[in-house]
Structure 1
Amino acid sequence: MKKETARMIKTAAAGIVMLAAVICYNVEWKGSGDTAQFHLTALQEETAEEGTDALAPAGVENHSPEYAGNTGDSERDNGAGRIFVHVCGEVAAPGVYEMKEGSRIYQAVEMAGGLTENAAGDFLNMAGKLEDGMKVQIPDREEAVQWSREAAAYPGISAGADGGAVTSKINLNTAVKEQLMTLKGIGEARAEAIIAYRQEYGPFARIEDIMEVPGIKEAAFQKIKEDITV
């Protein structure tokens, strides 16, 4: 009887020891898990506060994308606010140049590399405003003298005291090529077409008749109607 009681006590004691061990193990495991969870949560919060750079490798910076486009480029794509002018004669680099609307003649000359040594730079009004399709021809000194004589011979053009811009109306029936080329949008080809037309069909009866010339339509006429006469 005593032996049986002692065996039961030992069994119960062993069970208590095992139960205590299991309880300690669970407490330790759960505690470790909570600690790991705590560290992970803290790391996430710290990362959120510092931004994505905290997760980037050392020495690597995180930049937002930058765009090269701007309003000027959009205007260039649309063609808005842009004009094309032909700069020729006594300039370093004759050619067709794209410029901002409202630009002046001197700016077109600068775009073309500036005046040559033979240029009569004071013949034109360098402060004159450019128009789309305009031809800017810089004469040399001999041409400037010749053009001034022609201006004096034909009442349709005035060189001005300072050798500047045209100030009076161009007579379509008497103007020479160089005089016609001073009109907005009238280049060498159109000037020659005007002369060829009047030689074939006779003098213009009214300024609107210039629209009968090949290559000159309503838009071109609107640009020059205030500067021409018959």
Structure 2
Amino acid sequence: MLLIGAAHAADRIDINTADASTLQQGLTNVGPHKADAIVAYRRQHGPFLRVEDLARVKGIGTATVERNRRRMTVGTMKAPAAEPPRRVVPASVPRR
């Protein structure tokens, strides 16, 4: 049963990386105009953090988000890599 869930998750459309054609073909009530609007919004505002954020796109309402919720994902958001701490080098003391 666990494998079925993993396979289902793999079939989801990542709304942060999918092109307009994939969005149009894979999501209900998303035609070419809405798919282009999703891609344009993503380019202008950056990646979606949650599936619900898709409703911010003009022409996409909460009903469309809910209808497609199980078909979408925002992928795995990676935290920025932390820089290693910088080593503080003590200032040299002038000799007398």
Q: TM-score range by the shorter chain?
A: 0.5 to 0.7
- The yes-or-no answer on 1:219 pairing with 2:63 is yes
Alignment of 1:90-169 (within 5 A): 168-169=11-12
1:221 & 1:173 partners in 2: Cα distance? 14
Alignment of 1:38-57 (within 5 A): none
The one-letter code matched in structure 2 to 1:176 is D
Structure 2 unmatched ranges of 5 or more:
1-9, 75-96
Are the equivalent residues in 1 in contact too, given 2:52–2:62 (CA < 8 A)?
A: no
Aligned residues: 64
2:62 & 2:18 partners in 1: Cα distance? 21
Q: Match for 1:174 among 17, 31, 34?
A: 17
1:168 & 1:184 partners in 2: Cα distance? 15
1:170 & 1:188 partners in 2: Cα distance? 16
1:191 & 1:177 partners in 2: Cα distance? 5
Q: Deviations over 1:35-65 (max 9, x none)?
A: xxxxxxxxxxxxxxxxxxxxxxxxxxxxxxx
* Matched residue SS, 1:195: helix
Are the equivalent residues in 1 in contact too, given 2:13–2:71 (CA < 8 A)?
A: yes
Aligned to 1:188: 32
2:47 & 2:62 partners in 1: Cα distance? 20
Please report the RMSD computed on the Cα atoms of aligned residues, expressed in angstroms.
1.1
- How far has the Cα of 1:218 moved from its partner? 1.2
- The yes-or-no answer on 1:229 pairing with 2:46 is no
TM-score normalised according to structure 2 size: 0.64
Q: Deviations over 1:97-156 (max 9, x none)?
A: xxxxxxxxxxxxxxxxxxxxxxxxxxxxxxxxxxxxxxxxxxxxxxxxxxxxxxxxxxxx
Are the equivalent residues in 1 in contact too, given 2:51–2:72 (CA < 8 A)?
A: yes
| Deviating 4+ runs (over 2 angstroms) | none
- How far has the Cα of 1:179 moved from its partner? 0.5
- How far has the Cα of 1:199 moved from its partner? 0.4
1:219 & 1:206 partners in 2: Cα distance? 15
The one-letter code matched in structure 2 to 1:224 is N
Structure ID, larger Rg: 1
Aligned to 2:93: none
- How far has the Cα of 1:219 moved from its partner? 1.1
Aligned to 2:54: 210
Structure 1 unmatched ranges of 5 or more:
1-166
